[in-house]
Every structure is written in C-alpha cells, then in structure tokens.
A and B are shown apart, each in its own frame.
Chain A
C-alpha cells in the first residue's frame, strides 16, 4: 500500500460526493483567504500610515501650543498627508485644546490653563539659534487659515488651508515646488502677497492654464501665484494637495491677523540621527522662554515624527493581529466543517470500511485513507484560499491597498494542512477502529 494508492483512494472517495467536498473546501477557502486578505489589509493600512508620516519629513519636529502638558497630538496625524502645516483638523489636537488654533488663529482660551504663552516668532528665532540649538537646522513659524475662498476669473475654489510661513518650511515639511519657484526671505521681509499652491487648487481654479504669474484672490485679497507644489497624494480625510503656502506676514496681514500666536513651529533637525537631540534642545529652550517648571506645566507639545512612527507601527501591528485573529476563527470554523463532513462520510461508508477490512485492509490503510481525504480537502481549500486572498489583495479594500505578507501565505497554508490532519484524525480513527463484523452488518 503506497502513499500514492492511499491518495488515489482518498481522491476517489472525495469525487464520489463532489458537491459536499466542494462546500467543505469552501469553508477552508474562506478561512485561508480571509487570513491572507485581512492581514494584507492590516499591513497595507499600516504601511499607508507610515508613508503619510514619512511624507511629513522624518527629521522634523512639530511644536504646537498645548494646554495639557506635552501630550502629543497623534490623532490628528492619522488623517494623513496634512504636513506639519496641516492644521486642517487641529480641533482634535491634544487634550482640550479645542479652538486654541482656530481658523483665524485667534486665541480663545477655553482651556483651564489661562496663563499659557503663545508660540511666537521670537520662539522660532530662538530655536534657530545655532549656539543654543546646534542640532536644529531651521525653525519655521507657521500660521494657518482654514477654508479660504479663492477666486480666479470667475472660477472659485475653497482652499482647505492657507499656510503662512518662512521659506525653510518647504524643506522641513518635505514640500517641493514642481513648477515656478519658492518664495524667498525677501518676500517674507516685505510681506509680499505671493503664493505657492497645491495641485488640487490649481486644477479647480485654472484647469489647463499655467497658473504661474497669475493673480488669484484669497478671501478677496489678491495674491500672485509664483509656484505649484508637486503633488503628494494621500488617502486620508484631508487632501494634502489642497493647500496654499504664502509668506508669514502676508497671511497674517490679510487672513489670520496678528493677534494670536503661531499655530505651529516646524523644526528641522540637521539629520535623522539628531532628531532626539533637537527635540531636547527645543524643549529646554522653550521651557526657559515660557518659564516652565514643575509647578508650571508645559504649554507646548513637540511631536517627534520618529517616535510617532514607532507608536503608530505598534498600534497598527495590534490592528493587524486583531484582523488576523478574526480570520483565524473562520479558519477554525472551516476545520470543524471538515470534522463534521468526515464523520458523516465515515458513517455513510461503514459498510465499505467493513468490506475493506474483511479483505485484509490493515488499520493503518483505513486510517491513512480517511486522513488523506481530510487533508486533501483542507489542502485544496488552502491553495484556493491563497489564490482568493492574493487576487482579493489586488483590489482596494475600504480605501486601503492591501499589501500581502508572504509569511501569512505560508502560515495559512500550513495551518490548513494541520487542520486537515487534526480535524480529520478523529473521524479517521473512528473508521479504523470499526470492527469488520459490525461494519459489514451496517446497512
């Protein structure tokens, strides 16, 4: 009795009940497919979040005003693609800081801490001081103005956010001008009304017309377009390309006003290696300037992209494990389906088992035949499930592009074979233990 023969008997047994075999296989198929697909979705979404964070510039720090100590504003970055200037959903920032960085930049101190200092241009200047902060490359003050109506010759578009800042911001925030030019320090000094706009704004306002050199009105104030940003794309709630970047004083003058402080300071470290050093330098400088002590908790928070990244990857790992666990349960259910159907098969074929035993089939051959049947069912289901999972991963699932984890394929296949062996062993044992005389009497 060779392995091939046992396999042949098994295949013959399975083909005798094609529909039943197919349905049992389907159970395993769904289980394996779900494991692969869901793990791929989890993995894909975690990669997407990682990319969004990387896009912000991995060696930059974002400093925001905070009324509740140094709690990070992690949540706001999950929206993705906003950039350090992306205060579009800052309402959710930190704890209880609602409105602190409101649309107009005016401060509405609703939080308990009323003596909080605003972030100021002087703060930014102090941070950029090479003597006190050798690890910091640049510090760009940022003010935001949200949802500003822009017009160009009859067409209009609401720009999600207008960022007022210094030229160093472009590098720190990883924004590149694809067409035209950046604005300069000179533009800042003179508060020139020039603007660099994102692709979404370009398409809505200009269509196919080259926007460089044209004048647009932002909330009625004329700005000259001098550059177009390279498209960044993104899958968050916020479109990172629906943005306009202009010199800080120009935005303050015409849109946000001077009364409030800065929304953010974007600090660029000299290299990825000194990000942590830059963070501690920035902390000590601001602690000093804002008179922070044990009795007087910090009124700013610093978001470090690197630590953010590790925090996010840890949480997305949990997410992936959770998805995988749900899928594993469906695989288990498929396995129980195999036991069930094999028990039915053994009962149905009791007489056949009796005949085989009467003509001299040893226990091992019967055991082998039914084990092989169960394993073939689960293996075929497993292979089809891998196919289904791989094909399914080619499509976007709820806005996430799944990325297959190769080890999940091996794992799912291995588990499906193990399920066949494990869940098939009970019915197969029952078949092998049947006494021939009783099996033959079975009708």
Chain B
C-alpha cells in the first residue's frame, strides 16, 4: 500500500517501455476485448489504439453498444483487455497484479461516474478524503487537501453534508473533488452529466473546463454533443473501432 513498495515495479515497467522519451498519459495499443467465447463471443473492442498527451481534454463518443464503456473500464484499470497493451503514464497495466493495480487506481486515476457513486452516510469531506486514506496520507494533511479540493469545486460550505443532503449537481461536484484530490495523472469521467439537469450539467462542465485549464488530463465518455463540445479532441467509436479522431478548437479555447 505504501509508496516505497510500489516504486520498483513501476520503474521496471517503465524500463520495458523505452520507445518514446516523454511518456503519454494514455497509450492504448491495439486493445481488444471479447466477452464470452466461441459462437456467442461478443467483440466489444476490435483493436483500439490511441494516445493521450498530458493536458489533453478528450471526449470519447459513441452510441450505446459502441464499446465506450468497455474502453472506459480498461482505461480505468477496472477491467483487463483480452488483447493488446495499455500503458498508463508509462506503466504497462497488463503486467501489474491486483495490489499494484489498486495503487495505480489510487494515484494515477480520478474517477467520475454517471451515478456519482458516493458512499452514503459519509460526509462530503469523508468521501473526498477516502482515496487519500487508502493512499496512506496522514490525517491532518488529508483534511487540508480534501477541503482544498472541495473549495475548488465550489462546495466549501457543504463539507459536512452527507450525499443525501446534496443535490445531484452538488453530489457530482463532490465526486469531482474526490477524483482530483489525489492529483491524478488522469481524470476519467463516464457520462458525468448523464443524470443531471441542465443547470447542474453546466456547473460540472465548468469545473471540468477549469481543471483542463489548469493542465489536468481529462478523458470524458459521453454521447452528448454539447458535452463533447467542451473537449479539445473528440474520438468517435463505432462497433468497437475508432472511426474518427479529431482535434478541434474547443469552446474553452474560443473563450480565451
């Protein structure tokens, strides 16, 4: 669980990846995922490759069944690909055991889920502190960082509220605070606005824009065009394959 134990493996994994000098945050190479076997096998992903550089704001789009949720699970190290390699911040996720994966999830990835996934009966502060607790951060330090993260999403006055005392938008902002409190290399959002009304959607997207502005790498999975409009790059999936990967001037950059 502690850092000294984790480092050697990571160094090893880095050594195996000497191709590019500055590692990409995400480097997905020919990743495929098959559910089931034989006649009934479902090919959710058929050789997806993409790189995400530090600071990118990427939207992955696709209709339901296009494989975007599967990709999201693989990117978040919640699932393992059937074929291909996946490097996160230079570390080959396929070579790690369960314990190392949990450390990786804790330090490198911040999750934002469609259904918030906050732990009920635990205050906003407690929820935001949780990843730090699992990361072995000391109590005082943890509290300070959690309060800072909550302030960043505009919820400094709601720290002691439990999830059921908060609106959907507020809950999702707590989830965003939880995702960024560990200062991860990658913020991974799965339909972050899917369960929100338009006002809350604007709030949450504004927070994500601000994060992107401050240099965070963000990958958003969505099927809504106006959410994707905030991203600087849109990757479109159809039937488990990338059909479009387009950089564009995002709304954020237009505003600048």
A residues apposed to B, CB below 8 Å: 1, 5, 12, 16, 351-352, 354-365, 436-437, 440
Contact = CB atoms under 8 A, between A and B. Distances in A.
15 contacts: A1-B1, A1-B136, A5-B133, A354-B117, A356-B119, A357-B102, A359-B111, A359-B130, A359-B178, A360-B106, A362-B134, A363-B98, A365-B1, A365-B134, A436-B78
B188 to A, nearest CB: 10
Given A1-B133, A437-B73, A437-B78, A358 B121 contact: no
A406 B99 CA distance: 45
Interface string B82-104: 00000000000000001100111
Given A5-B133, A352-B119, A358 B111 contact: yes
Nearest to B70: A437
Contacts of B113: 440
Contacts of A358: 76, 78, 105, 111, 117
B118 to A, nearest CB: 8
Given A12-B122, A358-B111, 11 more contacts: A1-B1, A1-B134, A352-B119, A356-B130, A357-B105, A359-B105, A360-B131, A360-B182, A362-B102, A363-B102, A437-B73
B79 interface: yes
A202 to B, nearest CB: 71
A360 B78 contact: no
B232 interface: no
A182 B106 CA distance: 92
A8 to B, nearest CB: 9
B117 A355 contact: yes
Nearest to A362: B102
Contacts of B119: 352, 355-356
B77 to A, nearest CB: 9
Contacts of B102: 357, 360-363
Contacts of B106: 359-361
A360 B76 contact: no
A437 B102 CA distance: 13
A69 B207 CA distance: 101
B236 interface: no
Interface in B117-157: 117-122, 130-131, 133-136
A356 B133 CA distance: 11
A437 B117 CA distance: 13
A16 B118 CA distance: 15
Residue among A12, A351, A360 with the most chain B CB within 10 A? A360
Nearest to B1: A362
Nearest to A15: B121
Contact of A363 (B78, B99, B104, B117): B99
Interface in B56-82: 73, 76, 78-79
**B-side interface size class:** 20 to 34
Contacts of B117: 351, 354-355, 358, 440
Contacts of B122: 12
**Which 7 pairs from chain A and chain B are nearest by CB?**
A360-B106, A359-B131, A437-B78, A360-B105, A362-B102, A355-B117, A361-B134
Interface of B: 1, 73, 76, 78-79, 98-99, 102-107, 111, 113, 117-122, 130-131, 133-136, 178, 182
B130 A364 contact: no
A437 B79 contact: yes
Nearest to A365: B134
Contacts of B78: 358, 436-437, 440
A360 B107 contact: yes
A362 B111 contact: no
A350 to B, nearest CB: 12
A365 B134 CA distance: 8
A12 B111 contact: no
Contacts of B121: 12, 16
Residue among A352, A356, A358, A440 with the most chain B CB within 10 A? A358
Nearest to A5: B133
A440 to B, nearest CB: 7
B73 A360 contact: no
Nearest to B129: A5
Contacts of A356: 119, 130, 134
A16 B162 CA distance: 13
Nearest to B74: A437
Contacts of B104: 360
A309 to B, nearest CB: 61
Contacts of A16: 121
Contact of A362 (B99, B120, B130): B99
B202 to A, nearest CB: 26
Contacts of A436: 78
B79 to A, nearest CB: 5
Contacts of B131: 359-360
A357 B111 CA distance: 11
Contacts of A357: 102, 105
Residue among A351, A357, A362 with the most chain B CB within 10 A? A362
Contacts of B120: 352
Contacts of B103: 360, 362
A1 B130 CA distance: 10
A365 B135 CA distance: 11
A365 to B, nearest CB: 6
Residue among B73, B76, B117, B118 with the most chain A CB within 10 A? B117
Nearest to B98: A363
B74 to A, nearest CB: 10
Nearest to A349: B119
Contacts of B76: 358
Nearest to B130: A359
Nearest to A354: B117
Nearest to B188: A358
Contacts of B105: 357-360
A98 to B, nearest CB: 74
Contacts of B98: 363
